[in-house]
A and B are shown apart, each in its own frame.
Chain A
Amino acid sequence: MTNNGNQAIIALEHVVKRFPSGRTWFTALKDINLTLGRGEFAGLVGPSGSGKTTLLNLIGSLDSPSEGRVDVLGREVGKMNARESATMRKKHLGFIFQTYNLIPVYTVYENVEFPLLLLKEKADKRRKAVLEALEWLGIESKAKSKPTQLSGGECQRVAIARAMVKKPEIVLADEPTANLDAENSHHILQTMEQLNRELGTTFLFATHDEKVIKYLKRKIRLFDGKVASDEIIQS
């Protein structure tokens, strides 16, 4: 199961996801088969309601499939217990949300430091990594600010710094530019592209934003819970 000649880091086989809807079930994902290799810069694209977030949640082990299997980093998500999936998220996954989801009472510095605290990193190591991440995103000067004092673009940069600070294997970004203007969107995409290149981090986006789609190296088009097309952009 390889793609682009790389080792598969994410693999989905016959994945179905249903949600209870009244007295019946609503099928949000219908027989998804998909493989992502290490270091990809890929995106799930498709209209609202096509199942992008649902798919991202399955890969992020925040939810489990109704049918089929989801393998992340060589392990089957559906078979992991709560502690194991939490450990996987803590060590190997970074999340970026449309609504940033920063901890409001923390400073920028503390928000970025948070994943390292969970990993029980030593203080000096934490400090070095946080400062480095703030530098990547160009927000060193905001270290002491609280999220409420920042613009949307700055908040999302903090969220990216937080996702990247532990140098995870996979970053899952759900509509990261939905609340940003064009300039901020481009800036953030460029930064992520650079991190993908330099650190080899695998990025998987969920988006319907053309500005994001332009940057993707692989577009997995979802429509009505199914993969409608999967195209690799040759650079």
Chain B
Amino acid sequence: MITIKLAYRNLIGAGLRTWLNVIVLSFSFVMIIWMKGMLDGWDRQARIDSIEWETGGGQYWHENYDPYDPFTFEDSHAPLTPEQENLWQEGKLVPVLITRGTIYPEGRMQNIVIKGIDVNQNLLSIPTARLDTSVYGIPAVIGSAMAQNSQLKEGDRLVVRWRDANGTFDADEMVITGIFHTTVPSIDAGQIWIPLKDLQRMTLLENEATLLVRDNTEDPMPRFSGWNFMEKNELLKDIETIIKSKTAGTSVFYMILMLLALLVIFDTQVLSVFRRQKEIGTYVAMGMTRKEVVALFTVEGGMHAVLAIVVGAIYGIPLFIQQSAQGISFGLSGQDFGITMAETLYPLYSMELIISTIFIIVIATTFVSFIPARKISGMNPTEAIKGKIQ
């Protein structure tokens, strides 16, 4: 208790010097929490978007289906069982049929993936209602990234070629009836969404599907033989890996921030040991043991972090509240990088994040102060009293 009281008195007494350190430290605190909050917010948003646009509450994959190998598409489909059809009618499942195809926008050949989806579904955010129109040709919706890459706009007509179940090539004309905007690139780039019925007819795969998306609820669902159930979290792992890899750079950045903060404290404390030599000798002469002096200096260092929390809270809390309410706009979307990222990020500042950051910084600061403080214990008090630099 006495150590804390003296440490506090020493810090407050040192005035400006203390406050400069505290401000630098608080800046590190706030920056680290800010950045981590942004990443957590991004992560949360990416998960929500992926669930809404792509994964639903999980997917049943035909046992041969491998999304990373389009050549498996030919063999990865099966007819829906009556049980599956019932669940579809109840809105608990949405079947998707997937096949490879080729389009020729502006005379260029482009390999694409054609996905057939129930036009009446509302389990995923893909605007399938736009497919429910009568046009001359096959109605199709595409994402904005696909539209941009292939120079397609609403109302455009294009020739599409595919192979049916017998391996015979066939061709028809498609009409773009809608372009949707999504933050989830894996349902956008290189893909065209058309009505399930049309794709089944085109490929001669009446009533068949490649995967079934289930609703995002905890309701129990049966297993289907020949279909592998992919848990939601399994499917979301991909985004997490992507976000982690994309954030490796940021980790380095906050390592630097952290080091900067610790360097400030370390520097202050190392200087203290020399500058305050006479003071240290005086403490010993007045009856403090060396251990007590080391404790005092260590607590003084750690207390910088505590004051920094207070100072950081003063400007950090309003900043965090404002940003988690209004979001941070980057003026460009993650589509440009091929990652799930919205144009406006809503950072997520969880209690867990804040407490763990505070904990780490307080511990690290205290430890870093302890090192130079320990040097004091080797000092000869009779020399220290005179204040000679050793």
Contacts and interface: CB of A to CB of B under 8 A. Distances in A.
Interface of A: 53, 57, 60, 62-63, 82-83, 86-91, 93, 95, 97, 99, 101, 103-107, 110, 114-115, 117-118, 120
B23 interface: no
A83 to B, nearest CB: 6
Contact of A62 (B10, B14, B289, B381): B381
B288 interface: yes
A21 B148 CA distance: 84
B92 to A, nearest CB: 71
B387 A62 contact: no
Chain A to chain B: the 9 pairs with minimum beta-carbon distance, closest first: A90-B287, A105-B13, A89-B287, A101-B282, A86-B289, A95-B285, A57-B382, A105-B14, A62-B381
Interface stretch (B1-9, B48-56, B186-194): B1-9
Given A62-B381, A101-B278, A101-B385, A117 B6 contact: yes
27 contacts: A62-B284, A63-B381, A63-B382, A86-B287, A86-B288, A86-B289, A86-B292, A87-B287, A88-B287, A89-B284, A89-B285, A90-B287, A90-B288, A95-B282, A95-B286, A97-B282, A97-B385, A101-B278, A101-B282, A103-B279, A104-B279, A106-B13, A110-B13, A114-B286, A115-B286, A117-B5, A118-B287
B290 interface: yes
Given A101-B281, A117-B6, A62 B382 contact: yes
B387 A118 contact: no
B287 A91 contact: yes
Contacts of A89: 284-287
A82 B286 contact: no
A115 B15 CA distance: 23
Given A53-B382, A57-B382, A120-B2, 18 more contacts: A62-B385, A86-B288, A88-B287, A90-B288, A91-B287, A95-B282, A97-B385, A99-B278, A101-B278, A103-B279, A105-B9, A105-B10, A105-B14, A110-B9, A110-B13, A117-B5, A117-B6, A118-B287
Nearest to A114: B286
A103 B282 contact: yes
Contacts of B2: 117-118, 120
Nearest to B1: A120
Nearest to A56: B382
Contact of A106 (B9, B286, B287, B380): B9
Contacts of B281: 101
A197 B110 CA distance: 107
B14 to A, nearest CB: 5
Contacts of B382: 53, 57, 62-63
A99 B288 contact: no
Nearest to A82: B289
Contacts of A114: 286
Contacts of B6: 117
Interface in B262-297: 278-279, 281-282, 284-290, 292
Contacts of A57: 382
A57 B286 CA distance: 13
Interface in B145-182: none
A86 B284 contact: yes
Contacts of A88: 287
Contacts of B386: 99
Contacts of A120: 2
A118 B288 CA distance: 8
Contacts of B9: 105-106, 110
A176 to B, nearest CB: 14
B290 A82 contact: yes
Nearest to B386: A99
Interface string B1-37: 0100110011001110000000000000000000000
A23 B322 CA distance: 69
Contact of A83 (B10, B278, B289): B289
Interface core residue of B5, B14, B279, B289 (most chain A CB under 10 Å): B289
A188 B74 CA distance: 104
Contacts of A83: 289
